[in-house]
Structure 1
């Protein structure tokens, strides 16, 4: 079996092509006019985008999906070009012509899968039986990165925003980057972009240990914190993964506000929002204003200019400072960097404003770790204080008003725990992270493919949160969450839907309920 990815025309088949990371890779290949196939159990705007580019996507994961590759190459190419739409809905009947092993190997796809794909997956099994080259998605990313002057952004928190900020900067500076990030950005209409310069900006995921496969010209590490106890049993294992990654990068840009980065990685170029650490890049005179954040930036002790950004919270000031460090490393003028950062609108599902209905503001956020929940709710609390004309007691709290002119009276947090292993391991941290919410609603754990060990539940987490918070509500299903919200929410609420699972499915229907002039008779339903 080949151990290198072939970009010379051999087809690719993605098992689970609709995932945020997998789809970005598939997009890059499709833009290169390479044959892209894939399967996913659900249709989405992401799969529709790939299909519009010529990718052929099955709506089920069956061994029969590989029948298309069991024909002579000249027939395969004509059949592939003739297929359109969801192959899964009406499976193509393909002739099974005999061919030599050499012909078969020429046609067999390179199969791309993520850690979420289990060995018993029928497509994975048939790929092994046929002798297809099988690669983890990180193998494909590593192969792409090797072709560019790559910039890889890693870290437990903030890597999507930071990689998107850096990519946005390069785009605005005219450097025409190729981009693969873990979130969708309107500036390039998705989670990936193909540029024509030597630069590639990629989000580098540590969750499954595959970070060790990546080597980059510039590596950025935002922080190190245990977030995936399903893979890492100890913090030392996680640190080791980051150290291997750092050693494989020519230059490491690291946030030394994080003790683990400061002590274990010793970055080539450091940044910090705390001036006492004497980082290469730091800030002073920070102002958290109603329309964003302003700060004076220092480069190795010398003031280089004023930075403005639309994003909320000190954590995003840190992400912006990482972008400054990378931009300067690429010899960009600070004025160019500052202008781009000031224009960056953010990524989807990162304090994403969804609408204001019935005087209620709806926000969708990917926060699924206690640290992420804490800073997101602190920012929401600042929004409440700002809208009420009160001075903030939290230095990082004042944020861009999501709906200027609307007074916020209550912060409501709805949280869907993500993974049994994370919930169980970080139970005590979760119990304490909701302090800036006036009302907390929790629902059942989103498994993300994990087997239920039977030791932990959303109800148990709600009970622990209630030991520290006076207003906690538990609902066992998304349907129940939606129904309860339609009863509880009232004008003046800022409602945050928190989690990395599928909780945000209920947002449109809850908004529709409050949009109606007469909502007393509406009984919205959640679709699967």
Structure 2
């Protein structure tokens, strides 16, 4: 990239793309972009100096020297078509991240679940230890002024590595984390074995002085490690690993445990985020910290200060005594982990409001979704949030509710519209209830409206073509 280049980002309002835009602006590049709608993210970028157009049209790329596109942008996007016609360099999001990473030592965090939280935890540890790292995370983090990106001058560049289209292989990190591997994004991959191959290639692409950090609690990772030639640091809760948590005590919004490295007791770990899944994420971060030379006590002290990322078990407030929490969980395993954490809390009733995300995911994982709500007392299923996908004939959210009710009579209800969900809940919830909105779309608006006790209707978002999930 030329220092004075103008870089155009198609889908600039997405959480990952906007982070790249923030870093490019901080580096002094001229940044333009487009998105399908106004948003707080777009407004923040405009105030920072980016030229953002609402709507996609060929004229938006005039004067651009390079084009970066979100994985959600279709081939017939008019800006992409124009860029190809003019012979402009076109980079995938991960390719641009790879370029930005090249001047520092990269730490890339991958896996089917937990990427954002693990990245945010690691960023917290590095920041609290004054390492001034560059940070690129798929959520807003209070630690960096509520942003999703921060340009640092230290040795490290920490970011998520997205497997959804295989583009994590464009990155060139020195440390690579794989939190877990499961079937997802089956609109891109033909099988789970192909997904495993991608993660295996990711770890094997690390440099000779690099290291992979992997969870041995994951069946697929345990089966994969024999195919990995890179040096590995392993961690786990349930299987013997290099870094382990023992004497685990789960609490309402956190946990306590004792951390060991092999047989050596490192010390106690206190977390202020709930669930075993977050403890597992923390073990990966401990692996990162120890590898780069931090003392365990400094890592644990920083992790104690971590209170989460926006839309990851985020407490929205209360309504008539009911506690309102929102979470980004959109895969069956994520739903199970989030509900298991909620079930460890002292609530009389857990009401899960789930908005399925994408027709393809709903089609391929329908049975798994129907089994994911064992820890909920009541389940509300809304319409599918398409995220730019065309509807698939016969794929309907109602089917999830029907399958749940085949196992537990009248446990689930299908309520298509978010407004109607609000109407249903507002007179039925109270003290002792936890209302948990779940999904990668805009289901959070239900809890937000309840928490604010507003009377206006919920405006459904235009389908977010830039959603990077």
TM-score w.r.t. the length of structure 2 is 0.93
Alpha-carbon contact 1:167-1:201 (below 8 Å) kept: yes
Q: Distance in 2 between matches of 1:476 and 1:286?
A: 40
Matches within 5 A, 1:502-521: 502-513=442-453
SS in 2 for 1:153: strand
Q: Deviations over 1:316-353 (max 9, x none)?
A: 11111111111000111111111001111111111000
Select 1:196's aligned residue among 153, 166, 188: 153
Matches within 5 A, 1:353-432: 353-384=315-346, 408-432=347-371
Alpha-carbon contact 2:169-2:201 (below 8 Å) kept: yes
SS in 2 for 1:467: helix
SS in 1 for 2:118: helix
CA deviation after TM superposition for structure 1 residue 45, in Å: 1.7
Select 2:71's aligned residue among 102, 109, 115: 115
RMSD between aligned residues: 1.5
SS in 2 for 1:305: strand
Select 2:413's aligned residue among 457, 473, 480: 473
TM-score w.r.t. the length of structure 1 is 0.83
Q: Distance in 2 between matches of 1:523 and 1:206?
A: 39
CA change 1:232–1:291 in 2 (3 A) is closer
Alpha-carbon contact 1:432-1:468 (below 8 Å) kept: no
SS in 1 for 2:407: coil
List runs of 5+ in structure 1 lacking aligned partners. Answer: 1-5, 70-107, 385-407, 516-521
Q: Distance in 1 between matches of 2:104 and 2:196?
A: 27
Aligned twin of 2:181: 224
Q: Deviations over 1:137-178 (max 9, x none)?
A: 111011122221110000011111111111110000111000
Aligned twin of 1:454: 393
Aligned twin of 1:256: 216
State whether structure 2 residue 202 is matched by structure 1 residue 245.
yes
Alpha-carbon contact 1:435-1:469 (below 8 Å) kept: no
Q: Distance in 2 between matches of 1:289 and 1:452?
A: 41
Alpha-carbon contact 2:445-2:458 (below 8 Å) kept: no
List runs of 5+ in structure 2 lacking aligned partners. Answer: 462-469
Select 1:347's aligned residue among 304, 309, 313: 309
Select 1:265's aligned residue among 209, 212, 225: 225
Q: Deviations over 1:214-235 (max 9, x none)?
A: 2210001101111211111211
CA deviation after TM superposition for structure 1 residue 523, in Å: 6.2
Q: Distance in 1 between matches of 2:458 and 2:357?
A: 23
Aligned twin of 1:491: 431
CA deviation after TM superposition for structure 1 residue 44, in Å: 1.6
Aligned twin of 2:256: 294
Q: Distance in 2 between matches of 1:253 and 1:421?
A: 30
Matches within 5 A, 1:42-191: 42-67=37-62, 69=63, 108-188=64-144, 189-191=146-148
Q: Distance in 1 between matches of 2:4 and 2:452?
A: 47
Select 1:526's aligned residue among 453, 459, 465: 459
Select 2:243's aligned residue among 267, 281, 288: 281
CA deviation after TM superposition for structure 1 residue 485, in Å: 2.2
Provide the aligned length of Structure 1 versus Structure 2. Answer: 452
Comparing 215-224 with 284-293, greater Cα deviation is found at: 284-293
CA deviation after TM superposition for structure 1 residue 291, in Å: 5.4
Q: Distance in 1 between matches of 2:456 and 2:55?
A: 32
Aligned twin of 1:41: 36
CA deviation after TM superposition for structure 1 residue 59, in Å: 1.2
SS in 2 for 1:253: strand
Which structure's relative contact order is higher, taking Cα pairs within 8 Å and 6+ residues apart? 2
Q: Deviations over 1:190-248 (max 9, x none)?
A: 11111111210010010111122222100011011112111112111001100110011
Rg: which structure is higher? Answer: 1
Select 1:336's aligned residue among 298, 310, 313: 298
Select 2:20's aligned residue among 16, 22, 25: 25
Q: Distance in 1 between matches of 2:301 and 2:193?
A: 39
